[in-house]
């Protein structure tokens, strides 16, 4: 049964209860049972998304963007600091050393032999095609899904974050693509997009996607 303390939102763009258009929050008393869920929209019968989960996802997106800007700013300051250090410290030191007479050692160092050389093998990391951790799924290309899972597949309401340019769905007759940094919020079925909204990295709606099962 639906949690009495929970609230839900509808992510179906064609529904009168669509949250992003009207900011309608649906209580547990208004939900209707569906074939695989007891939290379906009373208007369109589509599965609902937990309101608290949606709000937390939006906060995570804003925090991630803020951290990215801090990293960029820190990196810029670090580059400037290194450049200043090279100009005021390293260059004068190198100029001073170039004027000194370099003396050859009386005894020449022996050439290193193959016996005392340690061969270092490059470290390699084995990455699984996808990892399933609770209600999230991360792919080898860096893309990530957060939401409902069924038998290890994206199934139900969730959010998909794109790490590279990618075809949204093989069933999409328009052959639309998501770009790196975009994310999709809506319904999924057996690892495929059903319907929802595609957002860019600035949290702006790029397009409403309705493909169906």
- For the chain, what are the domain ranges? 132-210
pLDDT at 37: 61
For the chain (213 residues), the mean pLDDT of every run of 10, in chain order, is: 69 85 81 75 85 86 87 89 82 66 53 46 38 71 92 92 93 92 94 94 93 87
Q: What is the largest CA-CA distance in the chain?
A: 92
Global pTM reads: 0.38
Q: How far is CA 126 from CA 129, 130, 140, 148, 183, in A?
A: 10, 12, 10, 27, 26
At 114 the pLDDT is 46
Task: State residue 40 phi and psi, 5-degree precision.
Answer: -110, 155
Tokens at 109, concatenated: 């160092």
DSSP 52-118: HHHHHHHHHHHHHHHHHHHHHHHHHHHHHHHHHHIIIIIHHHHHHHHTSPPPPPSSPPPPPPGGGPP
């Amino acid at each position: 049964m639906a949690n009495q303390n929970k609230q839900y939102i509808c992510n179906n763009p064609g529904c009168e209860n669509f949250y992003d258009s009207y900011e309608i929050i649906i209580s547990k008393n208004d939900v209707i049972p569906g074939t695989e869920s007891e939290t379906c929209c009373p208007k369109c019968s589509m599965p609902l998304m937990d309101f608290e989960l949606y709000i937390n996802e939006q906060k995570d997106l804003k925090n991630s963007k803020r951290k990215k800007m801090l990293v960029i700013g820190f990196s810029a300051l670090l580059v400037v600091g290194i450049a200043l250090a090279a100009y005021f410290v390293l260059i004068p030191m190198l100029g001073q050393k170039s004027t000194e007479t370099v003396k050859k050692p009386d005894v020449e160092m022996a050439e290193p032999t193959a016996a005392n050389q340690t061969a270092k093998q490059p470290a390699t990391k084995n990455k699984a095609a996808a990892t399933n951790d609770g209600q999230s799924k991360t792919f080898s290309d860096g893309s990530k899904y957060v939401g409902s899972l069924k038998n290890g597949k994206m199934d139900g309401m969730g959010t998909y974050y794109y790490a590279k340019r990618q075809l949204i769905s093989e069933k999409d007759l328009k052959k639309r693509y998501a770009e790196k940094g975009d994310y999709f919020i809506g319904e999924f079925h057996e690892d495929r997009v059903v319907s929802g909204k595609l957002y860019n990295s600035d949290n702006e709606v790029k397009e409403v996607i309705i493909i169906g099962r």
